[in-house]
Structure 1
């Protein structure tokens, strides 16, 4: 009788362990999916911000170009066109960021860094561990209870 009960308990324990592993895996997959969606939303916000900024900068650049051109023609001084050079570089950068392939090139460069220069990505004091996080949490909780 004890043997059958022990065998049944072992089977229940195995089923429970399998369920826990499956549940942990599902939780991890959900967390990865959530973090990826948050990353995608942040990138979409950055691109949208760049496009909005480009609208304002484009208007500024157009007005500045008209003003500088009018002033240079009226005074007959071509040196007044000099500020348009850096302003045009900024405009080209913003166009590339908002509508061009800059984000793809940045992504490619980041992937190259992760492969070829992985040592540059190390965090100070290494990757946080459960123990280091728990220690910091205890210190913070202790400070909070003292107040």
Structure 2
């Protein structure tokens, strides 16, 4: 079983609403989670920006069911044990953001975070997400390596 810091890769968040004015949130939300993961003791961030994985990223972020071989390959390529898959959508003035922490080898969802709030105050909703992420990160190592 792996030891040492949990190796985490955060992918770009997926815009489920189809509203292109929300496209900047795809990276903004990802970066917010990256900052939290990077600051957490016992975590090692695998920088997504240094990788060129268009095929694998598309498989993961499109919400498709990814076969175990593809997940394992992604894990080997990036050296990650956990991948963070996020999405967001807006309906009226409500913004909902969700993130899943997925074990690369098994596809098991280890933990989730979900927040919603007024889209007119997207920073507050983003802050709520990062607060949830910070709360769940300490549990991740024992869920990953029981």
TM-score by length of 2: 0.22
Higher helix share: 1
Structure whose residues are more often strand by fraction:
2
TM-score by length of 1: 0.22
State which structure, 1 or 2, has the greater radius of gyration over its C-alpha atoms: 1
Structure with the bigger RCO (C-alpha within 8 Å, sep 6+) is 2
